[in-house]
Amino acid sequence: MTINGWIQIALFCAVVLALVKPLGGYMTRVFNGERTLLSPVLAPLENGLYGAAGIDRAQEQHWLAYAGAILIFHVFGFLVLYALLRFQAILPFNPAEQSAVAPDLALNTAASFVTNTNWQSYGGETTLSYLTQMLGLTHQNFLSAATGIAVAVAVVRGFSRASARTVGSFWVDLTRTILYVLLPLCILYTLFLVSQGIPQTLAPYFEVTTLEGGKQTLALGPVASQVAIKMLGTNGGGFFNVNAAHPFENPTALSNFVQMVSIFAIGAALTNVFGRMVGDERQGWAILGAMAVLFLAGVAVVYAAEAAGSPVLNGLGLTGGNMEGKEVRFGIVASSLFAAITTAASCGAVNAMHDSFTALGGMIPLINMELGEIIVGGVGAGLYGILIFVIVTIFVAGLMVGRTPEYLGKKIEAKEVKMAMLAILCLPLLMLGFTAIATVTAAGLAGPANSGPHGFAEILYAYTSAAANNGSAFGGLTANTPFYNTTLAIGMLFGRFFVIVPALAIAGSLAAKKTLPASAGTFPTHGGLFVGLLVGVILIVGGLTFFPALALGPIVEHLAGAAGQTFSTGG
C-alpha cells in the first residue's frame, strides 16, 4: 500500500461526498414534481408523453397499483428485449453479422437487463449487434435504473407521508427520473468519455495490419453512450466482454476515476433525498454514515490483500502485488477500489478480473453483495434495501428496551417487520440454495474453470451476483450453458422483485399510518449509536448467514495459498 494509493481513495470519497447535497437537492425537486432548471426544455416533452400515454400526472397510485404497474411494464420490457436478441440477425445495424442469440442466453440476458443486474453470460463484441446494444441494452439500462429510483422514492414517501392512501405514480416517477436525471447527465458524461478515447461510432469493426505485420480486428461500436448509463444507473453490463477493463470501455485513469464516482453518485445522493423528504437531512447522513463504515472497511481489506499479492506468485520472486487480471493504467489501488465500489453499489462493471484477485481480495466483493447491496447499493435499490435493514434495526432496538419501535414518527409493527424479513431472507435462499444445487449436479460442476475452493467460490459468486442484481462475475465460470443461464435468470428475477414488492408493501403500510411526534423516549436515529447499531445488525445478519459458505470458499483458499498449495484443473 502506498501514500498515493490512499490519496486516490480519499479523493474519491471527497468527490462523492461533495456531490451528495447538490445532486440530492436537485433530485428532490424532480421527485416532488417541482420545476427545475431543465423544465423549459423538457416540460413539453414530458407533457407530450403523459398525453400520449393517457397519464394524469396528478393521479397517484396505491402501493398495489404501483407494484402492478412495475410488473406489467417489466413483462413488456422483457418481451421486447428477448425478441430483439432472437431476431438481431435480420434487423439493421449489424455490421459484424452477429447471428440470433440462443434461447437460453436470450432469456438470461433479458432477465439480466430488466432486473438491473446486467450479468454477462454473453460476450458483447462476439455476440451482440449494434442495434441490440442500443435499442436493447442501452434502453433497459435507463428503464431498470429509473425503476429502482422510483421504488426508492415511493418507499421514502411511505415514511414522509401521514394517513395517506397513495405512494406516488410509477409512470410519473419513471418518466421524470429518465428525462430530468439520467438523460441529461448521460449526454454530458458520454461526451467526456469520448474525449478520453471511448469509441462512439456505427462503423464496422476495423481491421489493421500491426507494426509487426499481424492482423488485428478492432471491435468498435456506440460504446460511450452505453457506458455512461451503465455506470450512472449502476447497471454494469459491458459493451465488451471484459467490461471496464477494456481500453475502449475505460481508456484512462481519469475515465476510471469518473466512472467510479458515477457509480456511487446517484445512490449516495438518494440518502440526501430521503433526508430532505422526511424533513431532517441528518437522517440521510446517518444512513450514508453506516454505508461509509462498511465501504471503507471493505476497501481497506481488498487494497491490503491485492497490494500484498498472492503467496504462490510471490514465492516465484515477484514483487509489486497481484497484477494478474489487472491493467497497468489503473494499477493495484484503482483496481481494488473499483472492485469494492462496483460490488457495494450493485453495479457489476469490472475494471479488473475479480476471479484472479487474491482469496481475501476476492472475498470482499462477495461479502459486499451478500450483505444485500446496501452499501450505497444500486440506484434506488440500495436505499430501499438499507431502509429494510433500518426497520429490522429499529425492531431489535425496540425489543431491547421493551418499547414499540418507532422510526421517523412511524410505529414499526408486525406487518413491516414481516415484509422486511421476507425481503432479507429471499436473497440468501436464492444465493445459497442455487449454489448448493450447482455443487451437486453434473451441469453445475461443469462450470468452474478453477478447481478446489476457488471453483466453489466461482459458483457461489455467480448466484450471489445474480440474486443481489450485481452482475459482476468470477469470469472463469462457464455460465453460458442452459443450466446456468436458466438458474441465474431465476435468481435475478426473484432477487429483484421479491425485494421490490415487499418494499412497496412497507411503503403503503407506513404511508397509511399517522406520524407521531417525537417524545423523550424516542430513540434518536441520526446519531452515532444508531449508525453503530445498524452496521451491527447488517453484519450479524450477513455473518450468520454466509460465514459457512465463505469458509468453504475464499477462507480455505487463503489458508491453502498461504501454505503454498495449488490446485490443478481436473485433479
Residues 265-304 within binding reach of another protein (CB under 8 A) = none
Q: How far is the CB of 178 from another protein (least distance, A)?
A: 6
CA 81/CA 99 separation, integer angstroms: 15
For another protein, the binding residue among 44, 320, 528, 532 (CB under 8 A) is: 320
Torsional sign, CA 531, 534, 540, 543: negative
Region binding another protein by CB under 8 A among candidate stretches 128-136, 263-271, 420-428, 508-516? 128-136
Q: How far is the CB of 276 from another protein (least distance, A)?
A: 27
Site string for another protein, 386-425 (x = CB under 8 A): ----------------------------------------
- Considering only residues 550 to 569 of the shown chain, the ones binding another protein according to CB under 8 A are 557, 560-561, 565-569
Region binding another protein by CB under 8 A among candidate stretches 104-112, 254-262, 377-385, 417-425? 254-262
CA 18/CA 11 separation, integer angstroms: 11
> Is residue 497 close enough to count as binding another protein by CB under 8 A?
no
Q: How far is the CB of 385 from another protein (least distance, A)?
A: 25
- Considering only residues 21 to 50 of the shown chain, the ones binding another protein according to CB under 8 A are 49
Tell me whether residue 320 or residue 524 sits nearer to another protein (CB atom).
320
Cα dist from 186 to 180, 183, 499, whole Å: 11, 5, 27
CA 429/CA 435 separation, integer angstroms: 10
Helix ranges (DSSP H) in 322-412: 331-344, 359-370, 381-401
CA 45/CA 55 separation, integer angstroms: 14
Q: How far is CA 477 from the centre of its chain?
A: 20
Site string for another protein, 348-377 (x = CB under 8 A): --xxxx-xxxxx--x---------------
Tell me whether residue 254 or residue 544 sits nearer to another protein (CB atom).
254
Q: How far is the CB of 415 from another protein (least distance, A)?
A: 23
Task: Return the C-alpha cell found at 119.
Answer: 450479468
Tell me whether residue 49 or residue 396 sits nearer to another protein (CB atom).
49
Say how many C-beta atoms besides its own lie within 10 A of residue 131's C-beta: 18
Q: How far is the CB of 55 from another protein (least distance, A)?
A: 5
Tell me whether residue 53 or residue 440 sits nearer to another protein (CB atom).
53
- Considering only residues 153 to 212 of the shown chain, the ones binding another protein according to CB under 8 A are 171, 174-175, 178, 183, 186-187, 190-191, 194-203, 205-206, 208-212
Say how many C-beta atoms besides its own lie within 10 A of residue 200's C-beta: 17
For another protein, the binding residue among 95, 103, 204, 247 (CB under 8 A) is: 247
Say how many C-beta atoms besides its own lie within 10 A of residue 282's C-beta: 13
Tell me whether residue 267 or residue 475 sits nearer to another protein (CB atom).
475
Cell 438458474 sits on residue: 487
What is the full DSSP assignment across 130-160? HHIIIIIIIHHHHHHHHHHHHHHHHHHHHHH
- Considering only residues 132 to 161 of the shown chain, the ones binding another protein according to CB under 8 A are 134-136, 138-139, 141-143
CA 128/CA 113 separation, integer angstroms: 14
Angle at the Cα of 201 from the Cα atoms of 196 and 207, rounded to 5 degrees: 95
Cell 476457488 sits on residue: 454
